[in-house]
Amino acid sequence: MRSSHFRIGLILLGVIGAILAGSGWAQKIAAPNGSFETGTAEAPDGWRLNAGTGGRSRDQAVDGAWSAYVDGTKDHTSYWLSEPLPLAPNACYVLRVDVFQEQRGGGPPVIGPRCSNYVLYDVEPGRWAPVRMYFQTPSAITEENVRLRLGHARMRRGRLFFDNVAVHRVEPVYRMVEGLILGDGEFVQGNVFESRMTWDVHKVNHGRALAGYKNTYFNHDAFLMGDGSELLMNHELAGRQFLRGSVFLAPAYREKGALIVEASTNGAVWEDVGRIADVRGQVIELPESMFPADNVFVRIRCEADEPAGRDFELNVMGLRGYYLRAEVDGPPVTATGKTHYVELLETAPELEVTVLELGDLIPHGENRVLLDLDLPGAAPAEVEAAARVTGPDGDTASFGRLVKIEPGSQVVAVPYELTQTGRHHMELTVSPGTLFRAGFDFDVSTFYEFGYGEQLPASSEEVGLWRTSSGWKVGAKTPVPQRHGDALVIRAARNEAEAAQLVLSPRPGLTGLAVECTDLEGPEGATIAAGAVDILEVRYVPVTIPTDASSVAAPWPDPLPPLSAPIAVTAGTNQAIWVRVKVPEAAKAGAYRGTIRISAERYEAAAPITVEVYDFALPERMTCETAFGLSQGAINNYHGLETEADQRQVWDLYMEAMSTNHLSPYDPVPMDPFTATWPEVRPGDDVDPAGLKVEFDWPAWDTAMERALTKYHFNTFRLHLEGMGRGKWPAEHERSLRGFGEDTPEYKALFTSYATQMEAHLRERGWLDEAFVYWFDEPTPYDYPFVMESNRRLDAVAPDLRRMLTIHVEEDLLGGVDLWCPLTSNYEYTRSKARLREGEAFWWYVCDIPKAPYVTHFIDHPGTELRVWLWQTWKYEISGVLIWTTNLWTSPPAYPDYPQNPYADPMSWRRPNLGRGVRLGYGNGAGRLLYPPLECADGRPGRPILEGPVSSQRLEMLREGIEDYEYFVILRDLLKDNGAALSAEQRAAYEALLAVPEEVTTSKTTYTTDPAPIEDHRHRLARAIERLHDMAEGGKR
């Protein structure tokens, strides 16, 4: 039983290939001089440098004594180009190579054959990184498109090393679900089938539907198209017919030319169905006359006056997004695909073996390998089929079975078990001897971690009742832990909110589930009222398109609506309850105990809860600066708010939520702006520039901002300045005021009046430390002179206004930036130290990038990530964090007719420059830490919804991280004030606590996914703070 796509692809393209059972490609492709051990100092044998400088080096090496390197060139690409490799057409391969980048700057490292390159955005500088990339070769092989490239695309500085290059043939094996064969990016929901090329997720050009391509080059997440370029897709779903369908295409860029889209049911007779000649993309309905059909073929051709650029030149058009969405016949099912790439290592003519399916490859899943054993001749044979699994800790487990097989073909199942998450390797064998041997790597997402938490006393076989940390994302099928505990335990300082999870795992299902908490009784009759305990429902959102290769398609927990009405729990699934305690500022230190009461139809239980209050308080205003976007327009639209009174009421509720979580909005007072009255003057008027003055009206803004800073305790706000010009997105605009260009005396006089008064007013109000000017986003080297000129003009007239720029340190920008705010993946601690000594500051940010392995804010990533982000922030002497928005709930291109329901569709879809119905994802939950209330989740309420937002698990982790950061600050300040009274040994012990433990994070890409190390060190910080507080007050603790 083999994929019909594979067979049809061979027929269509005229390729004579081999299946996984054959020996035609049981080979390691010899990469020329892959360890670079031979050659001269200037060049390794078998490789040539296209441009720039490079050579062989003994300074860095992984395999042997030598590596190859290229230097940063600033203005052009530079790479080593191998001799042609003997690659087969329309076949899949894996390239493995070790990469070492000295430092970041400019363009990224790039690897891969010329037909398909992989951009290494996620290699952390200063360490060797083993990298692997999978790729499919084109339908026709030329010498040029099967040469390997190892280099960079306009890296500005430093040196880039490569070593241990190897290429192996692999075969894609797809998941079998409900009798269907589905690969990455494919799923069926009911009778809707979607086949999406996951170029943006996996950075692999292969997909189950890709039957071939020619005269085009794959560049990381898009095909670069030009005249004569062609992609061929073949969609099929075994045993089902397509009843109707549409295809979606989204260009990555367009300089010229057009994409011609054709459709067919047999791959021979084609019908034009669309033409794309812009960058907005299209959704193309396929002709009704095509259906019903067993297959849907789609051919995408490019017509232009020049071919595609092969050296990353974006000269014609690029295709970034493609999928088919279709209705299919048959019974409704829910199924999600997966692709694994299996390497054939050894075969024998005595037996033909085909790998049909690999199972779920997760703990407690449907884990079995299906092998088709085809025995030639007339005599039966006895063989052992086995799977050998090596886990991330190096331990190996073997699973096998002896079977007697008859001549001909028969399917053998080999069950196996998995007990860990992380990187695994599986080797498949059939013996005696070595009749067959194959292997592949696979990753088990931390989403499938289990064993954490503890059962509570009321837990039973019928309804498991257990507790766990707030840092775990409890899956719907996560098993009940084996360990036992006494109570739900929360530890927090005064004026701090902290949470834990109570999990119900019912066998028969529950209806009418309600949860409430009693008052908590503490030392000497003290109490924490039940009103300080929030009971929230942990809701699941259906992730069907993973954010990146580290994630999985599954229901993921994230929204936390209040559990204000009884709910139902499906049999055999988990329901987590978020229990959050806000400790009053006046609470006595010590242990507080109470009971969480759980009731449902025919079910009652009680869970003890203990809250340990530390003997110190967190301040109202946090030290770590925050800057988070929040769209009032989206709030008004979703809540159905039309009157100013309603808009103000709900905005205040959102400000309460932002304040509770220590997030400062870019603009906390959008309904009370200051106003500037400009002189009535236009170009051509006869006027003395010295007399041009701007008049400000401050009172409404002052009153509202005073409230924002004192009531809500925000610690930053974004200051809008006119006359600075505008950033590159969506377009760069030159500096001007009232029609006067930047070189006119009128512009200079107006800008001076405007900026100096702004600075003076902020100084008078005491708000200079909170304000920051953020007017240009993510400049490229092309933009540096423009940015520097505007920032110099501002510095000349208002030097105390903080100039923030979303970029890491660049020499060409020195002197023009007070506050550097790079993307987290671009931040380099060693390069920032000099700027810190000069008094400059650093924030950093995440958005739709980076992806794994960096800390992110995506739904389908480990629960610890946003909390770890703040520990990394402290570790690297960074003083603030930024995310561009917190309520990206819909995208007009993706949802042109009605708003998106973020509970039903967790993907954040791109918004600018896309056509109607076009969907390109940022990532699940990108820019969405808040949810609208459930009553207006679809953005179409029948009345104004005067409620605040719904929190998320990610937002809670971010808040806890900000509070953790404050623990470090408090301990640091106590040591500064009281350290002289300590012995050298005592002081050293306390100072050691200020270092982030390696168990929490060692680098930007290595960090814990288990919350325990975070919570353990936080507890040690708290105890140290208590001791130093007591010492400062003359106690003897």
pLDDT tens string 441-451? 999 999 999 99
**CA 888 to CA 637: how far, in whole Å?**
12
Topology, domain 178-336 = Jelly Rolls (2.60.120)
CATH topology of domain 348-444: Immunoglobulin-like (2.60.40)
Residue 736 in contact with residue 723, Cβ under 8 Å? yes
Q: Determine how many CB atoms are found less than 10 A away from the CB of residue 514.
A: 14
d(CA 186, CA 322) in angstroms, rounded, equals: 12
CA distance 573 to 571: 6
Q: How many helices (H) and strands (E) does the chain have?
A: 12, 64
- The Cα–Cα gap between 640 and 647 comes to 9
Question: Is residue 1011 within 8 Å of residue 1001, measured between CB atoms?
Answer: no
Phi/psi-derived region of residue 811, left when phi > 0, alpha when psi is between -120 and 50, beta in every other case: alpha
| pLDDT given for residue 200 in this prediction | 85
Ranges under pLDDT 50 in the chain: 1-25, 729-730, 1036-1037
pTM over 0.95: no
Fold classified for 28-169: Jelly Rolls (2.60.120)
- The class level of CATH for 448-617 reads mainly beta
- The residues spanned by each domain of the chain are 28-169, 178-336, 348-444, 448-617, 631-676+693-719+766-952, 958-1035
Beta 339-347 vs 436-444: how paired, if at all? Answer: antiparallel
At residue 134, the 3 state secondary structure works out as strand
Q: 852, 203, 204: which is closest to 550 by C-alpha?
A: 852
Please check whether residue 600 is in contact with residue 513, taking contact to mean a CB–CB distance below 8 angstroms: yes
Question: Is 871 in contact with 961 (CB distance < 8 Å)?
Answer: yes
The structure tokens 């592949």 sit at 440
Q: Which pLDDT does position 1011 carry in this prediction?
A: 98
Amino acid at 277: A
Domains 28-169 and 178-336 share a fold: yes
Token pair 């902020």 is found at: 762
| Token pair 């139809």 in the structure block, residue | 601
**Distance from C-alpha of 890 to C-alpha of 633, rounded to nearest angstrom:** 12
Side-chain half-sphere exposure of 850, counting CA atoms within 13 A: 22
Using CB atoms within 10 Å of the CB of residue 212, give its burial: 0 to 12 exposed, 13 to 18 middle, 19+ buried: buried
